[in-house]
Structure 1
Amino acid sequence: MSALGAVEAAGAGGAALFRPLSAEDGEQQPAEIESLCMNCYRNGVTRLLLTRIPFFKEIIVSSFTCESCSWSNTEIQSAGRIQEQGVRCALAVASRQDMDREIVKTDCATIRIPELDFEIPAFSQKGVLTTIEGIIDRAVMGLEQDQPVRRATDKEVASKIDDFISKLKQLKEVHSPFTFIIDDPSGNSFVENPHAPQKDEALVVTYYKRTPQQAAMLGLEEEELDEKPADSAEDLRNEVLQFNTNCPECNAPANTNMKLVQIPHFKEVIIMATNCDSCGHRTNEVKSGGAIEPRGTRITFRITDPSDMTRDILKSETCSVEIPELEFELGMGALGGKFTTLEGLLKDIKDLVERNPFTLGDSSTPSKTEKLQEFIGRLQEIIEGKTKAVFVMDDPAGNSYLQNVYAPEEDPELKVEHYERTFEQNEDLGLNDMKTEGYETAPASGR
């Protein structure tokens, strides 16, 4: 029968299972279970004691003895669940009395003594209820176990281990202070505080959040993933959200997809795309994922090579575009927010001009049509890389971006300027009447 099975069986009687360990408590008797000896394979006796450590928690102490071969073994199991956080206990051992402090060490706990560069890895020993001196004695016993064989096969290694065993034994005399550290990701290990409930100045207990590797080691990886909030920023970056809307052309029901994207060397943006299955209309828009910047941004880029057309570009809804060579300016709000390439944005500008019914339709005059055709031809030459030009983006909100292919170094053809917004620009952004601090509650009306 397992220790947990014994707990369930004992609990059937309805009595308190875990009682404080006391020498005067004659009613608290360990449960005895006949079990197999793993040394001689005859039957021995396992004794289980369910107890509570003061100022700590419940544990199960199990002790096995075999009358046939006299083999014995003692270990503990935590009777509680794995804690929300891991625990790290660092004790400054300065006196012989500190060696008698009780220690609860679980299977997954790691013990270190930095002064000797000594470590007992996790899962290398069973859980024990002992003292600091007992921990050192067990380490010495484990190192001495194979020393006779080492002395016969490798005297140099055996000599080094003998020296180290001597240093461990000297620690028990506490000729000089040393640090005893126990680190348990499960949070179920414990170092006695003899001054409880007062604070122990020599003992530092730190609680920490487990790493994914530690959670996997404890078998909690899937559980912790299930507990992770579904609306975290990391999940949003890896997930495409979808919500219902209506097509802006035919008003039929359609779906809009939304995704959070991190632009390198810039910030996060939200890309929204709508596809209509009824009329085939497709549209996309970009929203800034951050706040309005303290200053506006003016980006000036000199187009010198056809490869410049492949640069990523983010044009926010508050950004205006200017091409001085064409005497062209696109106002704030036109085309909405776009996350595309420079070529894609110039083609969108070209399409916007061509779709204007008052310039190229039946309502246009020959002179206007001729000028506009000339403009479209010159814009097409810039798109094809046949003509050099200057491309200017002016965004008072500071949320537009043009890729620097030399990042993090400076781009010789790219100039980014930050400027203070004018009153009119703040008015357009709705910032003049925005109040974010110094609120005062108006007195309640007496009416």
Structure 2
Amino acid sequence: MITKISYFREVVVSSFSCPHCGYENRSLIPASQVQDKGQRITFKANNVKDMNRRVVIPVGSTVSIPEYDSSFPFSDGVVSTIEGIITGFIDNLNSLQPERKEIQPDLALKIEKFIDQLRTLLKVDKPFSLVIDDPSGNGFIENYLAPNDDPQIEIETYVRTPEQNELLGLQSQPVEPLDDNVTDPNTTQELIYCCYYYYYYFYRNQIVKPQKSKKTKFCY
């Protein structure tokens, strides 16, 4: 389903829900092409109202919460809200807690404390920051003051690394430069074969008539 987000772009939202097991998936595919540069969006949440801001997180992005020195990579694109993103972190961490408590109880205790910290963010008792590192340049956080600038949102563009380009499918295969002083016999033989093939096809079928020349002789 194509969805238009105000003051942004169109995105394709794919939604799936299984009535038997309860599994749900809501993923995002940007309808626009990858931008020339990546971007880093820093948002400052000041009150509970900010938790309702819509958020677009493209595939390959990383969301960080500097106050807790934590980051979460996204393998799928997501359309949600600030509250929805943080709630998703909590749900994902909680999903494996039963296994952690049996196998790594110390780690489970630390994660439980971190989950409690994330829950306090939902109340916005004090301001916190949320950073989206988006190599594709298609990420978005809703601007309540649009079309004017929002002082709570800071956007910084950057040149992608080769690894990020490869992740986005933009990395071209390296081409080794040819050395004019070295002749590869295999390459030469293939070139001769191609020349004769095209001469045979075009000239024999009278697509192009050969030019007569005393200095040129074709053997076929």
- Shorter-chain TM-score tier: 0.7 to 0.9
Asked if 1:79 corresponds to 2:1, the answer is no
Asked if 1:146 corresponds to 2:100, the answer is no
Bigger fraction of residues in strand? 1
Determine which structure has greater relative contact order: mean sequence separation of CA pairs < 8 Å that are 6+ residues apart, divided by chain length. Answer: 2
**CA distance in structure 2 between the partners assigned to 1:241 and 1:122 by the alignment:** 47
**CA distance in structure 2 between the partners assigned to 1:158 and 1:135 by the alignment:** 22
Q: For the aligned residues, what is the CA RMSD?
A: 2.1
Residues 387-439 of structure 1: per-residue CA shift (max 9 Å, x gap): xxxxxxxxxxxxxxxxxxxxxxxxxxxxxxxxxxxxxxxxxxxxxxxxxxxxx
Percent of aligned positions that are identical: 38
Asked if 1:182 corresponds to 2:112, the answer is no
C-alpha deviation, 1:158, in angstroms: 1.1
Q: Of 93, 100, 116, which aligns to 1:166?
A: 116
Please give the secondary structure, in 1, of the residue aligned with 2:63: strand
**CA distance in structure 2 between the partners assigned to 1:151 and 1:69 by the alignment:** 25
C-alpha deviation, 1:54, in angstroms: 1.2
Unaligned runs of 5+ in 1: 1-48, 227-237, 243-447
**CA distance in structure 2 between the partners assigned to 1:192 and 1:138 by the alignment:** 18
Aligned equivalent of 1:13 = none
Aligned equivalent of 2:162 = 212
Please give the secondary structure, in 2, of the residue aligned with 1:130: strand
C-alpha deviation, 1:215, in angstroms: 0.9
**CA distance in structure 2 between the partners assigned to 1:63 and 1:219 by the alignment:** 24
- Of 205-214 and 164-173, deviating more is 205-214
- Map 1:354-393 to 2 at 5 A: none
- Map 1:290-439 to 2 at 5 A: none
**CA distance in structure 1 between the partners assigned to 2:41 and 2:156 by the alignment:** 6
Bigger fraction of residues in helix? 2
Change (3 A) 1:211 1:71: closer
Aligned equivalent of 2:71 = 119
**CA distance in structure 2 between the partners assigned to 1:241 and 1:153 by the alignment:** 63
C-alpha deviation, 1:70, in angstroms: 3.6
**CA distance in structure 2 between the partners assigned to 1:148 and 1:67 by the alignment:** 25
**CA distance in structure 2 between the partners assigned to 1:182 and 1:68 by the alignment:** 34
Unaligned runs of 5+ in 2: 182-220
Asked if 1:102 corresponds to 2:59, the answer is no
Q: Where do 4+ consecutive residues of structure 1 move more than 6 Å?
A: 238-242
Aligned equivalent of 1:7 = none
C-alpha deviation, 1:241, in angstroms: 9.4
User: What TM-score, normalized by structure 1, do the two folds share?
Assistant: 0.38
1:142 counterpart letter in structure 2 = N
User: What TM-score, normalized by structure 2, do the two folds share?
Assistant: 0.76
Decide which structure has the larger Cα Rg and report it: 1
Give aligned pairs, total. Answer: 180
**CA distance in structure 2 between the partners assigned to 1:214 and 1:153 by the alignment:** 35
Residues 21-45 of structure 1: per-residue CA shift (max 9 Å, x gap): xxxxxxxxxxxxxxxxxxxxxxxxx
Q: Of 54, 77, 81, which aligns to 2:6?
A: 54
**CA distance in structure 2 between the partners assigned to 1:92 and 1:67 by the alignment:** 38
